[in-house]
Amino acid sequence: MELRRLRYLVKVVDAGGFRRASEMLNVAQPALTRQVQALEAEFGVPLLFRSAAGVTPTPQGEIVLCEAREILARRTRCTVWCPSIALRLRGRSDWVCRRPWRI
């Protein structure tokens, strides 16, 4: 599973359709559509209801969308935390994470 595909799914739903999402992401609409279709194929279920009025998530799409948002948020937190943790731990080889990080 590629993070890019999850990011695209979130943007398509937030934008209400592929055209606006492709403009916001600066990605060609056919390429964006293929990426979301690949994600649907990976999960084996349709994630979006498509209509002339736009897109809405299917029930399965709602679940994937919620998890995708959390995964992307965790990735963002890691990119912020890791450099600062590395600076604090420089020179220490005995450090082990014994419990999950708390915000």
- For residues 62 and 91, the model is more confident at 62
Mean pLDDT for the stretch of residues 11-29: 96
29 by Cβ neighbours in 10 Å (0-12 / 13-18 / 19+) ranks as middle
Q: CA 20 → CA 16, 38, 58, 64, distances in Å?
A: 7, 20, 20, 21
Mean pLDDT for the stretch of residues 31-43: 96
| Domains defined along the chain, listed by start | 3-89 (1.10.10.10)
Report if pTM > 0.75. Answer: yes
